Amino acid sequence: MLAQPEYQPQIITLEDPEKVAYFVVTQIIALVNRKANAVMTIPTGKTPERAYELLVEAVRKGEVDFDKVILRMLDEYQWLKRNDPRTFQNQLRKLLINPIHFPNIQFQTINSYPETDSPKEADRYEKLISATPSDIVILGIGQNGHIGFNEPLSPFDSRTRVVQLSDNTLAANKKDIQRHGQYTPEYAITQGIGNILEADRIVMMATGESKADIIRQALKGEINTDVPASALRTRQNVLFVLDSAAASQL
């Protein structure tokens, strides 16, 4: 890989997952209060769930106004029916979109069961989002260092595309994925690392001991495609918000 500049992300270590969620929500509120029509890419997974609860409370209390915000999905499984509760879209609707009555037209979604085919759906989404890069991308991290569904070996300039999930990811997601039915998705559409890196600001959330080793690799290991999250050190304005367990190997 060509030599590239390396930057040190800002790292905030807090006592527990509750404080991580609270801190990230404070960042989101500050952004939206500064820029009412902010474009935000939002993730799924367990890590951000509490942050969404806190955000719903903040919107209900009138601490922030989401009327002009654009929310966009980071990634989505493929070949799950639209009404399947396991789709990331349905998870986001349940946790955030529905409780705040967020307008559908401002929610940019990836279809889990496209009318045409997945590569066409990926192209459609790429065209939609590349016109206006995100003001902020909120991320979690997979145990193999993936961001979105950019698995190890994803190029740092990759764009929105169909990806095959690694065995590691399938194993990590197994409990959630298999709870509701037989079919286990093996493919997904994800924003590429290139899409993520062109955002104005990136906030990585990680909590728990199971993330400690990969957080160390992402922040202290070599910058290369073996650890997709290490790409975050190739640009400025990146914030890692960690609880003490996730930061324990730094």
Stretch that binds ligand GLP, among 21-29, 39-47, 53-61, 97-105 (CB under 6 A): 39-47
Closer residue to ligand GLP (CB): 49 or 123: 49
Is 75 catalytic? The answer is: yes
Give the nearest distance from C-beta 62 to ligand GLP in angstroms. Answer: 29
Contact criterion met (CB below 8 Å) for 137 and 75: no
The residue whose two tokens read 């106004």 is 65
43 binds ligand GLP (CB under 6 A): yes
Burial 148-162 (b: 16+ CB within 10 A, else e): bbbbbebebebbbbb
211's tokens: 């993330």
122's tokens: 């990926």
194 binds ligand GLP (CB under 6 A): no
Q: Which of 151, 195, 198, 243 is catalytic?
A: 151
46 binds ligand GLP (CB under 6 A): yes
Contact criterion met (CB below 8 Å) for 153 and 119: no
Is 18 catalytic? The answer is: no
Closer residue to ligand GLP (CB): 50 or 233: 50
The residue whose two tokens read 């990590």 is 172
Is 76 catalytic? The answer is: no
Judge residue 146's burial from the number of C-beta atoms within 10 Å of its C-beta, 0-12 exposed, 13-18 middle, 19 or more buried: buried
- The one-letter code for the residue type at 20 is V
Stretch that binds ligand GLP, among 14-22, 122-130, 141-149, 195-203 (CB under 6 A): 141-149
109 binds ligand GLP (CB under 6 A): no
Is 135 catalytic? The answer is: no
240 binds ligand GLP (CB under 6 A): no
Chosen residue from 66, 107, 149, 156 binding ligand GLP by CB under 6 A: 149
Q: Of 15, 20, 80, which is closest to residue 48 (Cα–Cα)?
A: 20
Give the nearest distance from C-beta 219 to ligand GLP in angstroms. Answer: 16
Stretch that binds ligand GLP, among 41-49, 96-104, 111-119, 194-202 (CB under 6 A): 41-49
Burial 6-40 (b: 16+ CB within 10 A, else e): eeebeebbbeebebbbebbbebbbebbeeeeebbb
Q: Which of 121, 146, 195, 243 is catalytic?
A: 146
The residue whose two tokens read 């997952």 is 17
DSSP letter for 203, please.
Answer: E
Closer residue to ligand GLP (CB): 150 or 225: 150
Site of interaction with ligand GLP (CB under 6 A): 43-47, 74-75, 140-142, 148-149, 169, 173
Tell me which residues are annotated as active site: 75, 144, 146, 151
